Amino acid sequence: MSDLAVERQAISGDVAFTGALRDASADWETRARVARLWAKDATLWTGGDEADWLGWLDIVPAQQARGSHFRALSSHAARGGFTDAVVLGMGGSSLCADVLSRSLGPVDGAPRLRVLDSTDPAQVASVEAAVDLERCLFIVASKSGTTLEPSLFGDYFYGLVEARLGDRAGEHFLAVTDPGSRLEVLAKRRRFHSVAPGVRSIGGRYSALSDFGLVPAAVMGLDVERLLACAAEMASACGVDRPVASNPGVQLGLALGLAARAGRDKVTFALSNGLLPLGAWLEQLLAESTGKRGLGLIPVDGEPAGSPEVYGADRVFVSIRLTAEGGESDDAEAEHAAAIDALEATGHPVVRITLGDRYDLAGEFFRWEIATAVAGAVLAINPFDQPDVEAGKVATRALTDAYETSGRLPSETAFAADDDFTLFADDLNREALSVAGATSPAAVLRAHLGRLGAGDYFALLAYLEMQPAHEAALGRMRQSVRDRTRAATCVGFGPRYLHSSGQAYKGGPNSGVFLQITAEDAVDLPIPGRAYSFGVVKAAQARGDFDVLAERKRRLLRVHLGADVTAGLASLERAVLDALA
- If one compares 6 and 514, the residue with the highest pLDDT of the two is 514
Read off the pLDDT band of 391 (50, 70, 90): confident
Please answer whether residues 274 and 326 qualify as being in contact, where contact means their C-beta atoms are separated by less than 8 angstroms.
yes
pLDDT, mean of residues 2-7: 68
Task: Measure the CA dihedral 497/98/200/256, to 10°.
Answer: -60
Q: What distance in Å separates the CA atoms of residue 55 and residue 147, rounded to the nearest whole number? A: 21
Cβ partners under 8 Å of residue 557, min gap 6? 423, 424, 425, 429, 433, 444, 445, 448, 514, 515, 516
Q: What distance in Å separates the CA atoms of residue 229 and residue 233, rounded to the nearest whole number? A: 6
| Res 440: pLDDT | 86
Task: Assess whether the previous peptide bond of 383 is cis (omega < 30° from 0).
Answer: no
The string of DSSP codes covering 336-359 is: HHHHHHHHHHTT--EEEEEESSGG
pLDDT in tens, 115-158: 999 999 999 999 999 999 999 999 999 999 999 999 999 999 99
Q: What distance in Å separates the CA atoms of residue 546 and residue 549, rounded to the nearest whole number? A: 5
- In the DSSP assignment, the letter for residue 415 is S
Cβ partners under 8 Å of residue 266, min gap 6? 298, 300, 314, 315, 316, 457, 488
Please answer whether residues 92 and 284 qualify as being in contact, where contact means their C-beta atoms are separated by less than 8 angstroms.
yes
Please answer whether residues 523 and 121 qualify as being in contact, where contact means their C-beta atoms are separated by less than 8 angstroms.
yes
Q: What distance in Å separates the CA atoms of residue 566 and residue 577, rounded to the nearest whole number? A: 17
Please answer whether residues 487 and 281 qualify as being in contact, where contact means their C-beta atoms are separated by less than 8 angstroms.
no
- In the DSSP assignment, the letter for residue 326 is G
pLDDT in tens, 25-53: 999 999 999 999 999 999 999 999 999 99
pLDDT in tens, 187-215: 999 999 999 999 999 999 999 999 999 99
pLDDT, mean of residues 505-527: 97
Is the pTM above the cut of 0.85?
yes
Q: What distance in Å separates the CA atoms of residue 6 and residue 183, rounded to the nearest whole number? A: 41
| Res 1: pLDDT | 42
Mark out the alpha helices in 407-456 (DSSP H runs): 427-435, 441-449
Class of residue 123 by CB neighbours under 10 A (exposed 0-12, middle 13-18, buried 19+): buried
Q: What distance in Å separates the CA atoms of residue 349 and residue 294, rounded to the nearest whole number? A: 23
- How many Cβ atoms sit within 10 Å of the Cβ of residue 467? 15
Give ∠ CA 300-306-309 in degrees, rounded to 5.
Answer: 105
Read off the pLDDT band of 392 (50, 70, 90): confident
Please answer whether residues 141 and 177 qualify as being in contact, where contact means their C-beta atoms are separated by less than 8 angstroms.
yes
Please answer whether residues 399 and 543 qualify as being in contact, where contact means their C-beta atoms are separated by less than 8 angstroms.
yes
| Res 422: pLDDT | 95
Task: Give yes or no for residue 452 having a pLDDT over 50.
Answer: yes
Percent share of the chain, pLDDT over 70 = 98
- Domains of the chain in start order, with CATH, are 2-46+234-379 (3.40.50.10490), 66-222 (3.40.50.10490), 387-580 (3.40.50.10490)
| Res 2: pLDDT | 53
Report the relative pairing of strands 512-519 and 488-493 from DSSP bridges.
unpaired
Please give the span between the terminal C-alpha atoms of the chain, in angstroms, as a whole number.
52
SS3 20: helix
Q: What distance in Å separates the CA atoms of residue 364 and residue 205, rounded to the nearest whole number? A: 14
Q: What distance in Å separates the CA atoms of residue 406 and residue 150, rounded to the nearest whole number? A: 25
| Res 435: pLDDT | 82
CA 277 to chain centre: 10
pLDDT, mean of residues 163-186: 97
pLDDT in tens, 331-387: 777 888 899 999 999 999 999 999 999 999 999 999 999 999 999 999 999 999 998
Please answer whether residues 88 and 177 qualify as being in contact, where contact means their C-beta atoms are separated by less than 8 angstroms.
no
pLDDT, mean of residues 210-222: 98
Share the mean pLDDT of the chain: 95
